[in-house]
Structure 1
Amino acid sequence: MTRRITRTLGQAAALLLLLLILLFAADYRYQVLPASLHPALPSHHPRSVVTDVQIAFCSRANPFSRCRLDADEWQRVEKDLYLHSGWARSAWLHVKRKREEELTEDDRVVVGVRVGRLDPGVGESGQGEERWESREGGVWLLRSGRKHESDSDRALTAVDVLFGADAVDPRPGWTLAETPLLLNAGDDMQLARLSTRHGRPKADEKPPVPRVNKDGKFKILQFSDAHLATGTGSCRDAIGPDNAPSPATCEADPRTLEFLESVLDSEMPDLAVLSGDQVEGPQAPDTQSTLFKLAAPFISRHIPYAAIFGNHDDQGKHALSRTAQMSLLQTLPYSLSRSGPPSLDGVGNYYVEVLTHSPASPNSALTLYLLDTHSLTPDEKHYKGYAWLTDAQTHWFRTTAQSLKREHARYSRIHLDMAFLHIPLPEQGSHDLLVTGGEWKEGVTAPAYNSHFYDALADEGIVAVGCGHDHVNDYCGLLPNSASTSTSTSGDNRLGPWLCYAGGSGFGGYAGYGGFHRRVRVWEVDTGAGRVVTWKRVECCGDDVDKRIDEVVLVEGGVVVAPQPSAPSRGE
């Protein structure tokens, strides 16, 4: 009898423990969200308005503590307001909304949102019957009982959360609160800030169409390896004038973005290519906030930009997937970024056509191919290090390039083709490479397996390739014909393509090897002369914030030209 009672009690205890585990999992399955849920933000709800906003707090130690309000009435913004850093608590923003035609006389439409400790209505006049209502986290709501407000510009139609003292919201019609939510978070936690939109969203603008300027020129800024964080981040290997180390208090992201803005204002490029590792994944638990502050300088200057990914962009437990990041980028103004064919390996295999100057002309003068070089090797046993461009990507590139050539035949001048990658091709580290216009300071971390994508580039007439990844390499290299591994069947004996590093731009990434000033690469294409010239801008040297260095002519008359005899020394 005693054994039976003991066994029964043991079974009951086990059942209770299982129940507790299930309850705990039911709530905390939201702590690590599937990538598909991350972009599910309440920003696109046609003809609906917000009627209430609440923050739900819960304890990590108590499995009965819930972080979700009634799902039938509330939509949760899928971001832990503590960014998964709260050792004992979590908090989640919830939004209640209704379609305009479903509003009743008892419903109240939110027409104002503020954050602070004191009632915003104190000392204000002219509110009539409207009064500010307090919510958790220092949120104050002004709600109107007038149904007609739902169709006015006062009505709150979307709410989001961004993080960091340096956060920005570049989306048209959105306003980011200056005061962060009052969450009693620690000093080491990123500030959570409300971003709101009132009134109906404007119709989505079509992406801009890049066109050559009237003088026949087109300038591209290649911005690589920014390694931005959520929040201001901390500098790595930062140096200033005379190569002196920067102070330990150096904030990485503000310095990186200040450098970027200086270059944009100096060069005024027609297009920017973000060639990977925009985000330092593990340091960016809210990828959305990080991408927004990177996109803001381009959006505010009306500069189109196209992005590909590096090996760090989607690293980290809470980072957005490549698919989610590309979906987010595609919603932003001036973005030309695209996912590419869904059946193809990777995310971000696409091309951008730069058309002739005449608005009436559909002809392309320049084609830019952008490809996803993935991340770590899929076969560590045989090929350590990084992944390679696959046979499927090579086939897509070849067939696409050959198809476009037939269209480009209508162009009366010299059509040029370039490509951008993140991880360099194996040929970038060839000992036969003719090097110019920069330094080879670190080992080339190209894939150990050579899938011969270089051969496809050569066969299809690509004149130059821009890559990133190895931060302190910033040279351009050219294989002599005798050293080429090309299996070309084209029958010609042309040089190329040029293989050029951009150099690391971000202070959140490494830059050792004896000291390295952050830099970006500029490409200028003269379509009239069939010429490609490149140089770099360097964050350097006192008042010369963005010094111009290492100008090289790569292509003349549509033909790749060999470098000058003087070549810089190579590092090991």
Structure 2
Amino acid sequence: MGSMAARTDHAVITDVAILFTNPKDTEPESPTLGWTRIDKDLYLRRGKARAAWLCVQSKKKEHLSSEDRVVIQVAVADSNPGWAWEQRPLGVWILRREVGQSTSESFVTELDVLYGTDAVDPRPGWTIGRTAFQLDLPADVPLARLTVRHGPAKPKPDVTLAPRLDGSFKIVQVSDLHFGTGPGICEDAIDTNGELLPAFEADPASVEFVGRWLDLEKPDLVVLTGDQSEFGKTPDTQTAIFKYTAPLIRRCIPFALVFGNHDDEGPPSLPRAAQMALLQTLPYCVARPGPDDIDGVGNYYLQIGTVSSQHIPLVLFFLDSHNRLPAKGEVYDWIKQSQIDWFNTVSQDLKSGLDQNPLAMGFIHIPLPEYNEPGLIVTGGHRREEVMSPRFNSHFYDALAAEGVAALSCGHDHVNDYCALRPASKLGPWLCYGGGSGFGGYGGYGGYHRRVRVFNVDTRTARLETWKRVEYCKEKVDELVLVEDGAVVPPAQNPKL
């Protein structure tokens, strides 16, 4: 299920109803003329006897008369909230007033449905109710909750990506959160001594863990490198998207992302294009769908503005690494030639329009085959599990090297968290892993603490350094200088080792 809010642009809601249908109907009947159905089954497709749909009646604001009655409050409650409230099924109550008795800012203009005790709505002007719809469902089914917007939609804030006055630009990479609909369960976390912890709610722990490092590092950009949500645990994708973006929106941190193989792994997950469209409506999202004529969704770049001519331009590339190949198990798709051609064209065009070559980085989800090469010089972390890369090599690495990209960072293999170089005469790009950040994804492999990766760029000196922030560790972990004066620094010469 996706974002199916009752969209009433330039309109206000005049009534609310619940439509019940047969749960076996793949295309439920349309509501009566003049009504709009929010396309989310309140029973989350788990109702044995019926499905239920929230419906709204609306009217354009300019067509309202002073005698028209409009909805000024909607709530889900166990009992009557007060005088003049009208009851609807499943614990829904509405309060209406004549237009002349209320201000337009008090009019309810949009309703939506999210699921689970940990559901949040990060959209400005929206308020999610604490009480769930009154539904007879098993305890393991996340209950539907109502979220309400009053007044017109709030405009998205303008976002400018630029180095700080000292020339620095900091990126926090968060990978493999594996959020679901509902809080989920983590059963493989360990304490500071490596002892297995009792099972606990996964997604709230991930929110707290990531938020702790965001508050400490105060990044200029967060990059989410795929598997933000988890197939099989996410019957409502919108709920998961709102949960993983809320900590960023609340802190006013711009964020970019790429999708992972689990983000849209079959129905009922939203397709990538629909997810990207939803994400682009959210404040501080700088991700883009990318050109329609190349493979994948989310092939784009961000150029970080320079403070002055004394600063090296910084360019970040984001590419869709696709999914598993159909009916082939753990065999993964590869970066396509159309994507490589796009990258080459953009990189060369950018260089031709700049006074000096930029410092460039890339982000993907599934690692390239080069991450799995024998003889790879691994540093600043560990290879704890097999590298799950495509078997076919489309040689995107060669394109990155030819264009002088300094570093590529991925996710996917949760307990790999190293950076590495190929033993070649031309050094770079660095091949880094972010390391798994979410408690909803697997850890294990003899004990693993969740982590995030930090990249800090000094655009005055073309220096790129990285470190990790790890559970239970107060200090930076595995600090590395990846680039100095625009040149890749080999491990043997690394001042941080």
TM range (shorter): over 0.9
Q: Is 1:388 the equivalent of 2:338?
A: no
Q: Give the distance between the partners of 1:80 and 1:509, measured in 2 at CA.
A: 27
**TM-score of the superposed pair, with normalisation by structure 2:** 0.95
1:531–1:190 Cα change, 3 Å: same
The structure with more helix, counted as a fraction of residues = 1
Give 3-state SS (helix, strand or coil) of 1:226's partner: coil
What CA distance in whole angstroms lies between the structure 2 residues aligned with 1:350 and 1:406? 18
Q: Deviations over 1:257-311 (max 9, x none)?
A: 1100001011111100000000002201111011101111111111100011000
Q: How does 1:331-370 map to 2 (within 5 A)?
A: 331-357=281-307, 365-370=313-318
Q: Contact 2:176–2:414 at 8 Å: present in 1 too? A: yes
For the residue of structure 1 that corresponds to 2:131, the secondary structure is coil
Q: Which runs of 5+ in 1 are unaligned?
A: 1-32, 123-130, 483-493, 567-572
The corresponding residue for 1:283 is 233
1:243 maps onto 2:194 in alignment: yes
Q: Does 1:557 align with 2:474?
A: no
> Match of 1:211?
162
User: Number of residue pairs matched?
Assistant: 494
Question: Which range moves more in the overlay, 296-305 or 94-103?
Answer: 94-103
Instruction: Tell whether the 8 Å contact from 1:373 to 1:388 is kept in structure 2 after alignment.
Output: yes
Secondary structure at the residue paired with 2:90?
Answer: helix
| SS of the residue 1:564 aligns to | helix
Which residue of structure 2 aligns with residue 57 of structure 1?
A: 20
Alpha-carbon separation, structure 1, partners of 2:416 and 2:397:
19
Deviations 1:461-498 (A, max 9, x none): 1000010101111111101225xxxxxxxxxxx31000
Secondary structure of the 1:292 match is helix
Equivalent position of 1:455 in the other structure: 398
Q: Which moved more, 1:135-144 or 1:106-115?
A: 106-115
Candidates 26, 43, 49, aligned match of 1:88: 49
Q: Computing the radius of gyration over CA atoms, which structure comes out larger, 1 or 2?
A: 1
Asked whether the 8 Å contact 2:439–2:450 carries over to 1, the reply is yes
Correspondence for 1:425: 368
Once the 2 structures are TM-superposed, how far is the Cα of residue 539 of structure 1 from its aligned partner?
1.4
State the match for 1:489 in structure 2.
none
Partner of 1:22: none
Q: Distance in 2 between matches of 1:398 and 1:384?
A: 29
Q: Pick from 471, 476, 479 the counterpart of residue 422 of structure 2.
A: 479
**Contact 2:67-2:100 at 8 Å conserved across structures:** no
**Corresponding position of 1:231:** 182
Q: Does 1:496 align with 2:428?
A: yes
Q: How does 1:267-416 map to 2 (within 5 A)?
A: 267-357=217-307, 365-377=313-325, 380=328, 385-409=331-355, 415-416=358-359
* SS of match in other structure, 1:514: coil
Give the Å deviation of 1:202.
2.6
Paired position in structure 2 for 1:6: none
Q: Which residue of 2 aligns with 1:532?
A: 464
C-alpha separation between the residues in 2 aligned to 1:332 and 1:263? 22
* Equivalent residue for 2:205, pick from 251, 255, 266: 255
Q: Give the Cα–Cα distance (whole angstroms) in 1 for the partners of residues 32 and 353 of structure 2.
A: 52
Cα distance between partner residues in 2 of 1:508 and 1:220 = 23
Q: What secondary structure does 1:118 align onto?
A: coil
Kindly indicate whether the alpha-carbon contact (under 8 Å) linking 1:103 and 1:147 is maintained by their aligned counterparts in 2.
no
User: Equivalent residue for 1:264?
Assistant: 214
Higher strand share: 2
User: CA-atom RMSD, angstroms?
Assistant: 2.2
The 5-angstrom pairing of residues 142-161 of structure 1 reads: 142-147=95-100, 149=102, 152-161=104-113
Retained in 2: the 8 A contact 1:67–1:91? no
Aligned mates of 1:70, 1:518 — CA distance in 2 = 47
Unaligned runs of 5+ residues in structure 2 are none
Shift of residue 364, structure 1, vs aligned partner: 7.1
Q: Is the 8 A contact 2:178 2:439 kept in 1?
A: yes
Q: Does the CA contact (< 8 Å) of 1:212 and 1:365 recur in 2?
A: no
Aligned residue among 54, 58, 61 for 1:97: 58
